[in-house]
């Protein structure tokens, strides 16, 4: 009797019933495409410091497999049904096409590695895309998998993800983390531009001029997201009827079209990208920086990024050229994002920016969609009713905590959290944000008691935001894991007990 059909998910489990499935290789954690929005650099540094603690994949790039057979949806035209017959219960609806409400092909993509953490993050991403009935295709781009990891990722995808929707895809690519000008060490974020380009060329055939490319492909829309995002409602390319907070009073467009990309306004990169050598980045001796005031209006972008396939391909070609150049003269964690901005600037593709596609940093002042959360009545913070105005998604690149017991960090959730026999997370009390105005960090994962646990006080406003994120994220991953267990685990073994907190069980497995 096995407790799961997915051997990898059992790799580090002490309770594995599947000893023969043990995989070699310690799991290295490659965190691709993880960006936080923070007003203060110090806040951003905290996020990246957490990333820096992780190891990098060092796999032979030639061992990775390409999945090229990922047919583009162009001929299945079925009207997208926004209202389902079942009340909020997701169901497999293979007939739903990769089109949005207007008939535009939509392609949601996100870039990952093959590490265990990326498996539960990806599963959670796909589950919520399924639950909210995200239109279009949703593709995980997984870079740098070993042969065995690729085999597992394909199996996991086929058995546990594609069974939710056949619009859910996996694209495997080689490791691009060494795509640097001279530095020979890994820069994991390079997988994002190169992975995107690989997908655009191999799946959408964007570098092919002949008839191999289905007609109209370039008129579709790409929505580039991150794996650590949870959709609360569908993200589409037409915001004219959406509740969003625009950066400008009169945005140039409310819909993505050729020449009019859109994005989340970045919270903390600010105008720094303007002050590096644009001639070196672009090779254009005449290029000048824009006026400072235009940075936050048109250029200072962060994920999600939305552009037509044609524009996104043009961006990806320059982005893969510029990101290594930015990295060369301005190495650091923002090089890949600054490369994206320089590509859009060189192409003269100003973005229409939205503050409220996602929320991530509870300390933001005038950034992100926090105004919505600040306005929630106390009774609606933990589990907001559908009538409440909310951002479109959550971006959990930070850590969230409130009171002595509740804490959420993607780095601290058990790597094998999806395993059938693992406990689910304990949900916070619904009034958690009025109960506590402080946070105590959980003990470290290695079991040794720390000298002193960090304690932080919160303003009432921040406590409310922490409560919103904690409740939202704990429910989001619990719901995904519950669905996973119902569909992939033996009834006798599937564990639905909601008792796990990172405080009471701090181990990584
Ligand atoms: C398109 O890109 C793919 C992947 O990068 C490559 O294998 C192929 O040769 C390219 N095709 C053309 C026509 O350039
Ligand atoms: C910027 O880069 C160009 C091209 O590499 C170089 O010629 C120029 O001297 C650089 N400018 C500065 C201020 O470093």
pLDDT, tens only, 374-385: 999 999 999 999
CATH architecture under which domain 61-78+94-354 falls: Alpha-Beta Complex (3.90)
Residue 38 has pLDDT above 80, yes or no: no
Token pair recorded at residue 159: 């058995």
pLDDT in tens, 106-122: 999 999 988 899 999 99
Residue 72 has pLDDT above 70, yes or no: no
pLDDT at 89: 42
Q: Per mean pLDDT, which range of 21-25, 246-250, 296-300 is the poorest?
A: 21-25
Ligand nearest to the CA of 213: 1
Ligand nearest to the CA of 275: 2
Ligand 1 atom with least separation from CA of 207: 1
- pLDDT, mean of residues 241-246: 94
| DSSP state for residue 159 in the 8-state scheme | I
Exposure b/e, 66-84, CB count within 10 A at least 16 = b = ebeebebbbeeeeebeeee
3-state secondary structure 425-494: ECCCCCCHHHHCCEEECCCCCCCCCCCCCCEEECCHHHHHHHHHHHHHHHHHHHHHHHHHHHHHECCCCC
Flag whether the pTM goes above 0.75: yes
pLDDT in tens, 415-469: 999 999 999 999 999 999 999 999 998 988 887 777 777 889 999 999 999 999 9
C-alpha distance from residue 481 to each of 93, 113, 123, 170, 498 (Å): 20, 20, 8, 20, 11
Of 5 and 345, which is predicted with more confidence? 345
Question: Does 104 sit in the ligand 1 pocket, CB within 6 Å?
Answer: no
**Nearest partner of 359 among 458, 236, 230, 222, judged by Cα:** 230
Distance, CA 285 to ligand 2 centroid (Å)?
Answer: 9
Per-residue pLDDT band at 197 (split at 50, 70, 90): very high
pLDDT in tens, 227-240: 999 999 999 999 99
Ligand 1 atom with least separation from CA of 197: 5
Instruction: Give the number of C-alpha atoms closer than 13 A to the C-alpha of residue 247, restricted to the C-beta side.
Output: 25
The residue whose CB lies within 8 Å of the most ligand 1 atoms, and thus the one to mutate among 207, 208, 212, 320, is 207
* CA-based max dimension of the chain: 68
Residue 404 has pLDDT above 70, yes or no: yes
Residue 45 has pLDDT above 60, yes or no: no
Domain range list for the chain:
61-78+94-354
Which H or E run includes 51? helix 41-52
CA distance 118 to 120: 6
CA distance 352 to 311: 14
pLDDT at 432: 97
- pLDDT, mean of residues 174-201: 89
Ligand nearest to the CA of 286: 2
Distance, CA 207 to ligand 1 centroid (Å)?
Answer: 6
Closest residue to atom 11 of ligand 2, CA basis: 277
Ligand nearest to the CA of 330: 2
pLDDT at 448: 76
Q: CB within 6 Å of ligand 2 — which residues?
A: 277, 279-280
Residue 319 has pLDDT above 50, yes or no: yes
Of 221 and 208, which is predicted with more confidence? 221
3-state secondary structure of 346: helix
Residue 36 has pLDDT above 70, yes or no: no
- pLDDT, mean of residues 323-341: 90
Per-residue pLDDT band at 318 (split at 50, 70, 90): very high
Question: Does 279 sit in the ligand 1 pocket, CB within 6 Å?
Answer: no
């Amino acid at each position: 009797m096995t407790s799961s059909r997915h051997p990898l998910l059992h790799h580090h489990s002490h309770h594995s019933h599947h000893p023969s499935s043990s995989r070699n290789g310690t799991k290295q954690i490659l965190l691709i495409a993880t960006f936080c929005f923070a007003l203060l650099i110090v806040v951003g540094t905290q996020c990246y410091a957490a990333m820096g603690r992780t190891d990098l994949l060092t796999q032979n790039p030639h061992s990775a497999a390409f999945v090229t057979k990922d047919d583009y949806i162009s001929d299945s035209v079925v009207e997208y049904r926004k209202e389902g017959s079942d009340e909020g219960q997701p169901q497999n609806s293979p007939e739903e096409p990769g089109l949005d409400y207007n008939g535009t092909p939509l392609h949601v993509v996100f870039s990952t590695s093959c590490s265990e953490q990326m498996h539960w993050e990806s599963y959670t991403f796909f589950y919520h895309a399924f639950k909210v009935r995200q239109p279009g295709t949703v593709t995980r781009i997984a870079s740098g998998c070993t042969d065995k990891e690729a085999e597992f990722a394909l199996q996991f995808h086929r058995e546990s993800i594609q069974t939710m929707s056949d619009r859910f895809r996996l694209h495997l690519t080689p490791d691009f983390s060494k795509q640097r000008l001279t530095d020979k060490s890994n820069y994991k974020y390079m997988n994002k531009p190169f992975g995107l380009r690989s997908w655009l060329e191999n799946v959408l055939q964007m570098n092919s001029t002949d008839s191999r490319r289905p007609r109209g492909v370039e008129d579709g829309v790409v929505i580039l997201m991150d794996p650590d995002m949870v959709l609360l409602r569908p993200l589409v390319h037409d915001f004219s009827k959406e509740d969003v907070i625009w950066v400008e009073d009169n945005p140039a467009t409310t819909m993505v079209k050729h020449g009019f990309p859109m994005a989340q306004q970045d919270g903390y990169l600010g105008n720094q990208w303007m002050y590096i050598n644009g001639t070196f980045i672009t090779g254009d001796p005449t290029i000048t920086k824009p006026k400072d005031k235009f940075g936050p209006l048109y250029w200072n972008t962060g994920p999600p990024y939305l552009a037509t396939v044609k524009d996104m391909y043009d961006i990806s070609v320059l982005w893969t050229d510029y990101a290594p150049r930015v990295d060369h003269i301005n190495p650091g964690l923002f090089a890949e994002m600054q490369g994206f901005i320089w590509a859009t600037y060189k192409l003269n593709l100003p973005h229409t920016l939205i503050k409220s596609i996602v929320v991530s940093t509870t300390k933001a002042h005038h950034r992100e969609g926090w105004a919505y959360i600040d306005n929630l009545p106390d009774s609606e913070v933990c589990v907001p009713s559908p009538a409440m105005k909310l951002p479109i998604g959550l971006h959990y690149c930070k850590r969230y905590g409130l009171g002595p017991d509740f804490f959420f960090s993607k780095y601290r959730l058990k790597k094998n959290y999806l395993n059938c026999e693992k406990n689910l997370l304990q949900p916070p009390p619904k009034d958690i944000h009025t109960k506590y105005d402080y946070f105590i960090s959980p003990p470290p994962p290695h079991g040794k008691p720390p000298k002193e646990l960090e304690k932080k006080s919160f303003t009432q406003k921040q406590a409310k935001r922490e409560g919103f994120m904690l409740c939202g994220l704990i429910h989001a991953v619990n719901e995904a894991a519950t669905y996973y267990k119902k569909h992939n685990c033996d009834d006798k073994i599937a564990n639905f007990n909601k008792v796990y907190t990172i405080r009471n069980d701090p181990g990584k497995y």
